[in-house]
Structure 1
Amino acid sequence: MSVFTTPVGPEAIDQVPHGHTAFRLDWGFLPRDVRALVEDRLGGPVVSAASQDSGFTPGFASVLTTAAGNQGFVKAASKAAQSEIAASYAEEARNLSLLGGGIPTPRLEWVHEDDAWVVLGFEAVAARQPRRPWTVEDLERALDLAEAIAAATESIPDGLDLKPIVEDLPQIVTGWDSVPTEWPHHTEAAALAAGMADLPHADRFAHSDLRDDNILFAVDGRTLACDWNWPALAPAWLDLVVLLVSAHGDGLDVEPLLARRDLTRDVDPEHVDTWLAALCGFMLSSRARPVPSTSPYLRTHASWYAEAAWSWLARRRGWG
């Protein structure tokens, strides 16, 4: 039977090459005027550019070092060639300006937008990303970050204009419609996912993209989240459970963490299962789409997360 009609488990799906999933523009391929703009902001000629090749988008993202030793992390996208990426970078700058300095993220130092390009300059943070497969120590630190984000965003700034996640991503609710009915417990899973629209306390801030490749463990002790392009309204515990899905897929026992973490210990288990079913359906519908040439590992990522979410959900529901 096809992988698209029956679960095979995350261990049967190729892992993405963590840290090497993005095909990005290199510094030398940016237009001369964009390079000149960046060098002016950094205070001198760039002598080295370390591309940050995690993630699943093709926009420019590099740590740049000048001849004087100044550093900055710069993201850039062309409005003509990469319109969606450029728009997401502009949205990230807007979101960060509204959220202010209280959130755990690298500092946004400057923004440039003209008719052709969007360019963002961040502080360069000496850091590493969580190791995969997850270790307990790295996972605990990442879960601390999810709780720090929830605490810092209890009050959502005016003007952020967030939509419920079920409106931003309708396939969170409808994803199972595109999954073959041969999938075991299809009816039950689809009914669970449909309950996303009625989850209580779904008016909180969610980062909505809190994966290992968007987390930095800084050498100065900070734990930071990157890529604030896609926040939405959802239960405050949503991001934390997504992290646990990936840890479950890597073989860790995540139930004790779910039971003792501040964000999740009092959450109705049925509500957690609702989110697991919704995430699984969303990823199953995503993996059936064509592979974009600019992000060759995107469908592998979706396929693996679908299997990891299903594996945990099936275990929790006793589906075998």
Structure 2
Amino acid sequence: MFEDLPRPVVAALERRSGRVIRSEAVGQGLNSEIAARVFTESGSFFVKGLRADHKWVRTQHREAEVNPFLCGIAPRLHWKIEESGWVLLGFEIISGHHANYSPDSPDLPKVVDLLSRLGEIEIPAVELRRAEQRLAAYVTVPTDLEYFSGTSLLHTDLNDHNVIVGDKAYLVDWAWATSGAEWLDAAYWVVWLIAAGNHEPESAEYWASKIPAWRRAPAEGITAFARATENVWEEIAGDDPDEWTARLRHAARCWSAFRLQS
């Protein structure tokens, strides 16, 4: 909880943003031990943070490094604080709602526009994970990894909760920013459309096809990615998945079967 942060950490925040008036917890997960809306004398911020010795703290630094290149794509980072064993990031708060991925949702064209604009961004000169490395353990044919290699900036987690929709759509949580083939974010989106929006694979691919990078993707590469993604979610789900991971595993299985039958 934000209220449990050491006083020197809060003091460092207040030196940048003014006295803290109140905070509202948003939630926490692998990518943030602290996630809160923080209201100060100078404005409001979305604050996320990890302990400096947390195994995922590199994701905080990566997110801070890529943010300057994401104007109009992601909320702007106002500051980064490293103090008393904590790393905090303070972002602008974007007004809007989590994306609705259902087949008739008016949010879908805005997500298409978002991913199309992301595809136009030149990859920044910062240290990123590589898609072929992240998927190396999940391909059935080692040469399939060649399809995933590339020099485009990718988000890789198109969870509907990571897409905020207002006048346009924004992508939040860039902890796993990756370099890879330009079409991969559209492919990641397909799985989430099936899982979170009740799309059939054909409908999900229809929306992905509106993104220019998808239309340039090799069909064999898309099929290889679908197979690898199924293996990813089989591993995550294990023998006793919760409802969320079971839904993603089912979506990945459906898409992989569709690709293999096409």
Query: TM-score, length-normalised on structure 1?
Result: 0.71
**Cross-structure match for 1:76:** 49
**Cross-structure match for 2:24:** 50
- Percent of aligned positions with the same letter in both sequences? 21
Which structure 2 residue ranges, 5 or more long, are not aligned? none
Deviations along 1:181-235, whole A, 9 cap, x unmatched? xxxxxxxxx24xx4431217623221222321211113xx232111222222211
Q: Does 1:157 align with 2:107?
A: no
| Structure with more relative contact order (C-alpha pairs < 8 Å, separation 6 or more) | 1
- Partners of 1:255 and 1:102 in 2: CA distance: 27
Q: Does 1:244 align with 2:190?
A: yes
Cα 1:175–1:145 change in 2 (3 A) is same
- Partners of 1:260 and 1:241 in 2: CA distance: 12
Q: Does 1:306 align with 2:254?
A: no
Q: Secondary structure at the match of 1:175?
A: coil
Which residue of the other structure, out of 198, 205, 226, is the alignment partner of 1:276? 226
**Cross-structure match for 1:32:** 7
Decide which structure has the larger Cα Rg and report it: 1
- Partners of 1:131 and 1:264 in 2: CA distance: 21
Q: Secondary structure at the match of 2:59?
A: helix
Alpha-carbon contact 2:28-2:34 (below 8 Å) kept: no
- Partners of 2:104 and 2:143 in 1: CA distance: 32
The Cα of 1:36 is off from its aligned counterpart by: 2.4
The Cα of 1:94 is off from its aligned counterpart by: 2.1
The Cα of 1:311 is off from its aligned counterpart by: 0.2
- Partners of 1:117 and 1:307 in 2: CA distance: 38
Alpha-carbon contact 1:175-1:284 (below 8 Å) kept: no
Cα 1:289–1:62 change in 2 (3 A) is farther
Alpha-carbon contact 1:103-1:149 (below 8 Å) kept: no
Which structure 1 residue ranges, 5 or more long, are not aligned? 1-25, 177-189, 291-296
The Cα of 1:318 is off from its aligned counterpart by: 2.2
Q: What amino acid does structure 2 have at the position aligned with 1:205?
A: L
Q: Secondary structure at the match of 1:64?
A: strand
Aligned ranges 1:164-313 → 2 under 5 Å:
164-167=130-133, 169=134, 172-175=135-138, 190-191=140-141, 194-199=142-147, 202-218=150-166, 221-249=167-195, 250-252=197-199, 253-288=203-238, 300-313=243-256
The Cα of 1:131 is off from its aligned counterpart by: 2.8
CA-atom RMSD, angstroms? 2.7
The Cα of 1:314 is off from its aligned counterpart by: 0.8
- Partners of 1:28 and 1:163 in 2: CA distance: 33
Q: Secondary structure at the match of 1:121?
A: strand
Deviations along 1:81-132, whole A, 9 cap, x unmatched? xx124332122112324x3x53511111111114511111111222211136
The Cα of 1:259 is off from its aligned counterpart by: 3.7
Q: Does 1:317 align with 2:256?
A: no
The Cα of 1:277 is off from its aligned counterpart by: 0.7
Cα 1:138–1:75 change in 2 (3 A) is same
Query: TM-score, length-normalised on structure 2?
Result: 0.85
Q: Secondary structure at the match of 2:257?
A: helix
Alpha-carbon contact 2:99-2:165 (below 8 Å) kept: yes
Name the one with the larger strand percent. 2
Q: Secondary structure at the match of 1:264?
A: helix
Q: Secondary structure at the match of 1:173?
A: coil
Alpha-carbon contact 2:62-2:127 (below 8 Å) kept: no
Alpha-carbon contact 1:73-1:122 (below 8 Å) kept: yes
Q: 255-264 vs 140-149, which deviates more?
A: 255-264
**Cross-structure match for 2:98:** 129
- Partners of 1:242 and 1:212 in 2: CA distance: 11
- Partners of 2:132 and 2:224 in 1: CA distance: 13
- Partners of 2:174 and 2:239 in 1: CA distance: 25
Alpha-carbon contact 1:164-1:203 (below 8 Å) kept: no
